[in-house]
Amino acid sequence: MRCNVVAVGTELLLGQIVDTNSAVIGERLAAAGINCHVQYKVGDNQDRLERLLRDALTEADALVVCGGLGPTHDDLTRESIAAVMGVPLEHDEGVATTIRDLFAARGRAMAPNNLRQAMVPHGATVIPQTRGTAPGLICPVRVGGHDRVVYAVPGVPHEMVDMIERAVVPDLCRRAGETGTIVSRTLKTWGESESGLNQRLDGVIADLDQAGNPTLAFLASGWDGMKVRLTARASTAAQAVVLLDHWESVVREEVGEHVYGVDEDTMESVVLELLRRRGWSLGLAESVTGGLVAGRLTDVPGASDVLRGSVVSYASEVKFDLLGVPDGPVVSEAAALAMAAGACRVLGSDVGLSLTGVAGPAEQDGQPVGTLCIGLITPMVRHTTTVRMPGQRRQMRELSVITAFDLLRRHCS
């Protein structure tokens, strides 16, 4: 069974709203073992939507159409599906009554155009609303001598999720006549390029190609490094997990300490947990990153039991007067180590992590733009390093954060 997704709304094409609904729908379909090969976006134009639906139904057994079910003139999903079905829209008094009752229960006057949501293509089944006014639809379609089905769900995320889980996925599973699941696991890495990971995993990829299940894919994720995603298909989730456990261990053997986390882990959540296990507190001294390191850490709930605080020593005088950095270049490993020691002293922490560098636009202390010096002091080690970061100012600063986290991770593991 193949079920593709159509997201409707001109605002999606203009970038005014990010289409997260398609990702959620794809996740729910995968969990039920339903293949989703293509996801489309189309604006609020009936001709284009009709044309897309006709074309998409030649390649898929089913479509989930998300959005365009509201009461306004630009909500055209009902009309478009009816046209593809070759049937008229009919007033459904049961839906109309539900809409009227909902407004009455809220003590609000109902604009007449809300009853547009009670228009249903002839032969379609209504998915009752439990959270809003627009009902969903299950619409049988005959295309090229083959039976297809189109599901229409609202674009409001919590309404959409409710209908997908309550009606769409169960109906798809019934039509597919089989049960199964698709489960993914994502290994997050730092310190190796996509091509480098590919080369390390050439043998594993060949073995997986021969086995056919699971599959492996690489995903670039900006400031969080490269992801290696394993996707397994099985009759049950437990069976899929067994497959993923085995192949995760195989991947880890090849990639080694470049793997820093799995699935929802972030570099900062991993670092905090490693420090927590050791009973170590953390103090920061930031110059080039201007508080970005502390910001990432404090995004993690519970960070306060590890993070003591951060000294944003952007001006050289703060490094000298507050952190005890000796006179001399402030973009240097010596300065970075003194900053880390100052963070431990000022903040009363077991571990000090510091970052000083040159984000641009011009060089500083004879160091080119992109230079990053990191200082680290733990109860077990005193360490410094200098790295060269690519990119413009913002990219250099963001990459500096995760590079410093990775250094801390490796010394706390």
Domain boundary among 230, 262, 294: 262
Read off the pLDDT band of 194 (50, 70, 90).
confident
275 backbone dihedrals φ, ψ, rounded to 5°? -65, -40
83 & 68 share domain: yes
Domain boundary among 121, 146, 176: 176
CA–CA gap between residue 178 and residue 16 (Å, rounded): 39
Q: Tell me what the mean pLDDT of segment 207-233 comes to.
A: 87
Q: For the chain, how many structural domains are there in total? A: 3
9 & 123 share domain: yes
CA–CA gap between residue 231 and residue 254 (Å, rounded): 18
Supply angle C-alpha 235, 237, 240, rounded to 5.
75
Which helix H or strand E contains 394, and what residues bound it? helix 393-412
Nearest to 340 by CA among 382, 306, 370: 382
CA–CA gap between residue 307 and residue 343 (Å, rounded): 11
Give the model confidence (pLDDT) of 123-177 as tens digits: 999 999 888 888 999 999 998 889 999 999 999 999 999 999 999 999 998 998 8
> Lowest-confidence range among 230-239, 282-291, 303-312?
230-239
* CA dihedral over 253, 259, 265, 268, signed as positive or negative: positive
pLDDT of the residue at 296: 96
255 & 294 share domain: no
pLDDT of the residue at 312: 97
pLDDT of the residue at 390: 86
252 & 133 share domain: no
Q: Cα dist. 314→135, 138, 331, 361, 400 in Å?
A: 56, 60, 11, 16, 15
Q: What region, left, alpha or beta, does residue 354 occupy, with left being phi > 0 and alpha being psi -120 to 50 degrees?
A: beta
| SS3 of residue 356 by DSSP | strand
CATH number of the domain within which 370 lies: 3.90.950.20
273 & 403 share domain: yes
275 & 383 share domain: yes
| SS3 of residue 300 by DSSP | coil
Domain boundary among 247, 262, 277: 262
Residue 179 confidence (pLDDT) above 70: no
Nearest to 307 by CA among 371, 266, 337, 350: 350
Give the model confidence (pLDDT) of 37-96 as tens digits: 999 999 999 999 999 999 999 999 999 999 999 999 999 999 999 999 999 999 999 999
CA–CA gap between residue 22 and residue 401 (Å, rounded): 31
CATH number of the domain within which 202 lies: 3.30.70.2860
169 & 203 share domain: no
Asked if 80 contacts 150 with a C-beta cutoff of 8 angstroms, the reply is no
pLDDT of the residue at 178: 63
Residue range(s) defining the domain that contains residue 229: 181-262
CATH number of the domain within which 55 lies: 3.40.980.10
